[in-house]
Amino acid sequence: MSLKKKVSMTVNGVTVNAEIEPRRHLVDFLREDLHLKGPHLGCEQGACGACTVKVDGQIIRGCLFLTVQADGSVVETVEGLTKSGALADLQESFMRHNAMQCGFCSSGMLLAAAELIEKQPKASREEVREWISGNYCRCTGYHAIVDAIVDVLEARAKGQKIKPVVAHA
Amino acid sequence: MNKPSDLKGLVLDPVTNDQRYIGNSEPRHSARRLLEGQGTYIDDIQLPRMGHVVFWRSPVAHMKIGKIHTEHASKMPGVLAVVDGVQMAKICKPWVATLGHLAGMKSAPQHALAIDRACWQGEPVVAVVAETRAQAEDALQHVDVEWEELPAVISMESALDPKTPLIHPELGDNLCFTRSLDVGNVDEAFATADVVAEATFGFGRHTGVTLEPRCQIADYNPGERRLTVYHSQQAPHMMQDLYCRQFGLSESDVHVICKDVGGSFGIKVHAYPDDFATVGLSMMLERPVKFVADRLESFTSDIHAREHRIKGRIAANKAGDILAFEINDLTGIGPYSMFPRTSAIEGNQVVNLVGGPYKHQNYRAHLDVVFQNKTPTCQYRGVGHPIACAVTEGLVDLAAQKLQMDPLEFRKRNVIPDDAYPCSGISGIKLEVLSHEQCLRTIEKMMDYPALRKEQAELRKKGIYRGIGFATLIELTNPSPAFYGVGGARIASQDGASVRLDPSGVVSVLVGVGEQGQGTEGIYAQIAADAVGVSINQVRLVTGDTDVTPYGGGTWASRGAGVGGEAVLLACQALHENILKLAGAILNRPVTELSIHRSHVLDKATGEQLLPFSEIGRIGYFRTDTLPAGFSADLMVTRHYTQKDYPFIFTNGVQASYVEVDPDTGFVKLLKHWAVEDCGRVINPMLVDEQVRGAIVQGIGGVLFEECLYDESGLLRNGSMADYLVPMANEMPDIEVAHVETPTQSSKLGAKGAGEAGTAGAPGAVQNAINDALAPFNATVFDQPITCEKILRALKKI
Ligand code: FES
Ligand code: FES
C-alpha cells in the first residue's frame, strides 16, 4: 500500500498538509499523525460516538470518515473547541454534575451535546436523552450527563453562562 | 414524589476537626483535563521504535492446531516478528488458575499463545508484530494456520454428560468446581410450609464493554534489563507480580504504570493471555510493543460473566415468614479458569448470597461450575450478586404473591432487623451492621409507594400494564485477606498511602489504589485535605505506578474508598501529627499547645497563627540545622490498612423499578428507578450517586438487553457494538438515589464500597417489575435478558 494522496485541511485553526494512504481514517490521522488525544476509538464501526469530531461545522464519526474526504475542510476536535471556548459552558456543567467518569466518551459526548444546543435550543429532557443516544457512555448511567446538558440549555434560554467550577479554599 | 434530599438521615460525626470536604459533593477537579481531551489513555502513548501486535485468533470454538506457515507474513512490509505458541512458551511459563481454599477446584495449564489446541473462538494463537498497526493487520492476512475442528462443548447443561467430549482429558471430566451447602432442616421446612414457590432462572452471558478496549504497551529495556508495562488495568501491583513470575524476573525488574483507564468494571482486573504475549514479544524484540484490542477482539477475548441456570424454591408460612431457600446453580465458565482470580468465585458468591437479606434459618445450595468451549468467564462488576439477588427477590415475590401479601410488606417482615447485628447469615457469611429496615422505609417514602400502587391499579383498568419491582440486596465490600490471600493468590488485600508535605506546603498523596473514573483520586484528595488540614487545591494525587506508590491491591470488590481511603486517612493523620511535632521543635513549645487549621499551625488556646505550612516545609527541608539535635522532621509518612475484622464488610440497599409492559409487543418501557444505598460513610454524595446510577444501568443492560449469543458450533453471533445491545441514554430512566449511612466500625473512616450494588440490584428489581406488570395475565419471565420475544412467549402470544 504505497499509494499516497496529498491532503490539506485546517485542524483546530492550523493548516495541515500531509501525504496519506487513501484508506486512512480521519480519526487515525488526527490521533496518530497529529498527536491529538481528544477523539477516541471505542468501536471503529460507527456505533459508539467516541471518535466524534467536527468537519465543516458538522459532527461526524471520525472512524467512518476517510482523511481524504476532509481534504480542504475545517476540522475541529475537542482540543480546538476547548481553546476557542465553544465548549466552556458544557465543560463546566459536566464538571458540576460529575457527568463523566473515565472520560473516554466525553469528547464525543460534548461535541454531540454542543450540536444539540445549537440545533435544538428548546430540547426537553427526553429530547436530550434521544439526541445523545448515538453516544455510548458505559460509566455514568447518563442521568448526570442529561442533567448537565439540560442546565446549559436552561442557562442559554435565560441568556446566562454557567459559572466556572472552582475549588473552594 | 419525594426527593431524596427531603429524606435526610442521621448526620454522622465528623472524622476530622475541621471537616470541609468529606461528605460533600466536591467536583473532581482533576477530571477537567478529561473533558478537554487531555487524558492519557494507553493508545495515546507513542514510544520510539514501538511495534504493534495483532493476533491470529482461533476462528472456531475448539480446534487442533496444525502447521503454522509464517514465511509469507514475515516478509510483509514493516513486519518485525511472527511468533507462535511454542516460541512464546520458551520465555513465558504456563499458568493454572485455581485457589487453594476452593476445595477440589481444577483447571488446565494455559499458555500465552495456544499450543496444539485452541479452546475458544478468539483464543490467541499467533502474534504478528509490525511497525504500524495497519502493517500488522495487512500481514495477518498472510498467516496461514492449518487446523482441524474438534468437537466443542457449548451447552453447560450437557457439559457433564458422559457422552460429552472432554475439553481437557487430563482433568477427567468437564467439572471445574462444585460446592454444596445444607444448613438447618430444609426438607422439613418445605414439607411443613404453607406455601412453596419455585422457578428456574436463566442468566445470559454478558461482558463489560469498557468503552476503551483492553490495551497495553510493554517496553523491555535490554540495557537496564527492566520491563515497563503501560497498562489499562485495575491492579498494577498484581500485574507486576504476575509478570515477574511468568517471565522469571524479579519484582524490582518490573514496572507497571496505569494512566487514565477508560472504564474497567472488572474486565481489566484479570491477566489475559494477550497481556503475557505482548510482554513476551517486547522481551524478544527488545523494543516497545503496543496491543490494543479492537472491538471484535474485545467481544471474543474480554472475560464474559454470568451464564447461569438456577433452579430455586422458597418456603413460607401463612403468617408471612420465610422459612427456607433452596437453589441449584449450574454455571459455564469457558475452557479455562481465568488467571489469577479464578472463574469459580462467581458461583461461589451466588451460594453465599442467596437469601442473604432475610432471617430464615434453612438453606440448601448446590453449585456446579463446568467447562465449555466459549470465552472464559470471570469477575465482572457485582460478581455473583446480580444473580443471587434476582433469584432471591424473584422467589420472594412469588411467595408474597401466593400469600397475597404486599411485596414490600413481605420484605419488611422478613429482612434481618437493623438491631440484630452483628450476626451471621444462614450461608455462614458474617454481617457487621446493615440497615434493611431503614432502607425499605426510605424507598417507600421516596417513591411514594401507595400513590404509585394506586396509579398502577387505575391504569390497569384502562389496559395499561405497569409493574413495580423491588430488590433488597447485600453486597460484600472491603475484602480481607480471606478473599484471595488464603487461597494462594498473590493479590494484596492491604493497601497503602504515602503522604508528603512538600516544601511549599502542598500535600502529595501516593496511593496503591488507582483511578478508573470512579473518582477515587477525588475522594482521596477530600480525605487528605481534611485530615492534614489544607484546602483541596493544595493536594496532589499520584496513583497507578508500581515504582512510586505503596504496594496495594488496586480496584476490585469495592475496596477503593473503604480500604484505600482508610490508608489515606491514617497516613494523613500521621503527617498532621508530624507537622505539629516539627512546629513544636521550631517554636520550642510543647505540641499540646499547638493545633493545625487550614495550612497554619496555631496557638491552640488563642487561635493565633504561628507558622504557615510553607514555613514548616522550608525549615523541615532546608534548615534542619536549626532544629534540636537528634530531631528528625519526617514530612513524608506511609500507612497501610487491612480490613481484618470480618472476611468482608457487607453493605446493603434496596432498589425499585417502575416499568410499563406492552402486552401486544412485549416491549418494556422503564419509567423510573429508585435506589437507596448504604455504603457507610459517604465521602462524596455526587460521586456515589453517579456510581450507583452507572452500575444500575449496567444491571439494566443485563436484565433487558445484553447477551453474548453463540450458535450451536460455539461461534459468537453478536461480536460488535451494533449487534450486542448496551443501554443508551434514550431507553434509560431517571434514577433517584438516596443514602443511608451506617458506618463500619472496622475503620476510622467508616466507608464501605459503593461501586457494585447498583449492578447487583437492578436486574432483580426490573425482573420483578416486569412480572408485576404481567401478573394480570398469570405470566412470569425469569430468563434474562428479558426480551420482547420472551415476554410474548410467556403471554402465549407466540
Ligand atoms: S469509534 Fe467511531 S463510532 Fe465508535
Ligand atoms: S465516562 Fe466512561 S464511558 Fe462515559
pLDDT of amino acid A168: 67
Give me the mean pLDDT over the A149-169 stretch. Answer: 91
Q: Report the separation in Å between the CA atom of A118 and the middle of ligand 1, taken as the mean of its atom positions.
A: 22
| DSSP letter, residue A164 | P
The kind and range of the H/E element at B610 are strand B609-612
Is B163 exposed, middle or buried, given 0-12, 13-18 or 19+ CB atoms closer than 10 A?
A: exposed
Residue B401 predicted with pLDDT over 70? yes
Q: Which residues, 6+ apart, have CB-to-CB distance to B514 below 8 Å?
A: B234, B236, B258, B261, B520, B543, B544, B554, B555
Residue B476 pLDDT exceeds 70: yes
For ligand 2, whether the C-beta of A137 sits within 6 Å is yes
Mean pLDDT of B641-651: 95
Question: What would the pLDDT profile of B48-69 be if each residue is shown by its tens digit?
Answer: 999 999 999 999 999 999 999 9
Judged by CB atoms closer than 8 Å, whether chains meet at B690 and A32 is answered as no
**Section B433-441 average pLDDT:** 98
Residue-by-residue DSSP string for B7-51: G--PPPPPSSTT-SSTTS----GGGHHHHTT----GGG---TT-E
Provide φ and ψ at B762, rounded to 5°. Answer: -60, -45
Can you tell me the mean pLDDT for B295-314? 98
Distance from the alpha carbon of residue A100 to the mean position of ligand 2, in angstroms: 6
B486/B480 Cα distance (integer angstroms) = 10
Check if the beta carbon of residue B294 is closer than 8 Å to that of residue A44: yes
CA distance A72 to chain B (A): 24
> Using CA atoms in the order B555, B560, B564, B568, what is the torsion angle rounded to 10 degrees?
130
- Determine the residue of A63, A104, A133 to mutate for testing ligand 1's pocket, defined as the one with the most ligand atoms within 8 A of the Cβ atom: A63
Task: Order the strands of the B539-543 sheet from edge to edge.
Answer: B539-543, B507-511, B495-501, B636-641
pLDDT at B4 over 80: no
From the number of C-beta atoms within 10 Å of its C-beta (0-12, 13-18, 19+), residue B168 rates as middle
Q: Choose among B28, B536, B690: nearest Cβ to A140.
A: B690
Q: Are A103 and B34 inside 8 Å of each other by CB? A: yes
Alpha carbon distance B157, B397 (integer Å): 27
| Whether B638 contacts B497, CB under 8 Å | yes
Amino acid at B85: G
**pLDDT of residue B297 exceeding 60:** yes
pLDDT recorded at residue B232: 97
What would the mean pLDDT of B430-439 be, rounded to a whole number? Answer: 98
| Residue B725 Cα distances to A69, B51, B303, B472, B701, angstroms | 30, 33, 17, 27, 8
Grid coordinates given for B28? 473532581
Ligand 2 binding pocket includes A121 (Cβ within 6 Å): no
Minimum mean pLDDT range among B189-193, B459-463, B514-518, B761-765: B514-518
CA nearest neighbour of B566 among B505, B640, B512: B640
* All cell numbers assigned to B392: 432471591
Q: How confident is the model at residue B396 (pLDDT cuts 50, 70, 90)?
A: very high
CB contact under 8 A, B686 and A97: yes
pLDDT of B130 higher than 70? yes
pLDDT digits (tens, 9 = 90+) for B152-167: 999 999 999 999 999 9
B48 CA distance to ligand 1 middle (Å): 27
Q: How confident is the model at residue B486, as a pLDDT?
A: 86
Rg (CA), chain B: 28
* Terminal CA-CA length for chain B: 38
Identify the pLDDT of residue A118.
Answer: 96
Strand partners, B737: B675
Q: How far is CA B443 from the centre of its chain?
A: 25
Question: Are B539 and B507 in contact, with CB atoms under 8 Å apart?
Answer: yes
Report CA dihedral (B655, B660, B663, B664) to the nearest 10 degrees.
-140
Strands (E), B70-143: 79-83, 117-118, 124-130
For residue B262, give the ligand 2 atom closest to its CA: 2
Asked whether residue B734 carries a pLDDT value surpassing 70, the answer given is yes
* Sheet containing B63-69: order of strands: B117-118, B63-69, B144-149
| Side-chain-facing half-sphere of B640: CA atoms under 13 Å | 12
* Cβ A26 under 6 angstroms from ligand 1: no
Q: Which backbone phi and psi does B525 adopt, to 5 degrees?
A: -65, -40
Q: Kindly report the CA angle at B474 between B105 and B393, in degrees rounded to 5?
A: 95
A contacts of B263 (beta carbons < 8 Å): 101-102, 104, 138-139
Give the pLDDT of residue B577.
98
Name the band, by pLDDT with cuts 50, 70 and 90, for residue B6. very low
Q: How many CA atoms lie within 13 A of B273 on its CB side?
A: 36
Question: In which residue are the cell numbers 444462614 written?
Answer: B426
Tell me the per-residue pLDDT of B570-621, one tens digit each, with 9 for 90 and over: 999 999 999 999 999 999 999 999 999 999 999 999 999 999 999 999 999 9
- Determine contact, residues B237/B484, Cβ cutoff 8 Å: no
Residue with cell 464500597: B753
Half-sphere exposure of B127 (CA within 13 A, CB side): 34
Pick the residue with more confidence: B9 or B534? B534
Q: Residue B67's pLDDT is what? A: 98
B329: β partners:
B310, B367
Q: Which of A157-166, B129-138, B366-375, B634-643 has the lowest mean pLDDT?
A: A157-166
Q: Is the pLDDT of residue B484 over 90?
A: no
Render pLDDT for B784-795 as a digit per residue (tens, 0 to 9): 999 999 999 999
First to last CA, chain A: 57
Would you state the pLDDT for residue B485? 82
Pick B517's closest partner by Cβ from A36, A101, A167. A101
d(CA B727, CA B762): 13
Say if residue A130's pLDDT is above 60.
Answer: yes
Q: Please state, rounded to an integer, the average pLDDT across all residues of chain B.
A: 96
Give residue A145's pLDDT band: very low, low, confident or very high (50, 70, 90): very high
- CB of A44 closer than 6 A to ligand 1? yes
Nearest to B348 by CA among B171, B485, B484: B484
For chain B, say whether A106 makes contact (Cβ under 8 Å). yes
So what's the pLDDT on residue B5? 39
Cα–Cα distance for residue pair B88/B92, rounded to 1 Å: 6
Cell 486512512 found at: A24
Closest CA to B145 of B240, B223, B55: B55
Confidence of residue A2 (pLDDT cuts 50, 70, 90): low
pTM of the complete model beyond 0.95: yes
Q: Which three cell numbers stand for residue B654?
A: 434496596
User: In this predicted complex, what is the ipTM?
Assistant: 0.97
Could you give the CA distance from residue B194 to residue B202 in angstroms, rounded to a whole number? Answer: 27
Query: Cβ A107–B37 below 8 Å, yes or no?
Result: yes
Say if residue B9's pLDDT is above 50.
no
The verdict on a CB contact (< 8 Å) between B686 and A82 is no
User: What is the pLDDT at residue A169?
Assistant: 64
CA B306/CA B784 separation, integer angstroms = 10
Nearest residue (by CA) to ligand 2, atom 4, is: A137
Main-chain dihedrals φ then ψ at residue A39, nearest 5 degrees: -70, 135
- Contact residues, chain A, for B706 at CB < 8 Å: none
Do A137 and B734 make contact, defined as CB atoms within 8 angstroms?
no
Question: How many other β-carbons are positioned within 10 Å of the β-carbon of residue A159?
Answer: 6
Task: Give the phi and the psi of residue B521 in degrees, each rounded to 5.
Answer: -65, -35
SS3 at position A44: coil
Confidence of residue B324 (pLDDT cuts 50, 70, 90): very high
Over residues B284-293, the mean pLDDT reads 98
* pLDDT score at B714: 97
A165 close to B (CB below 8 A): yes
CB B680 within 8 A of CB B781: no
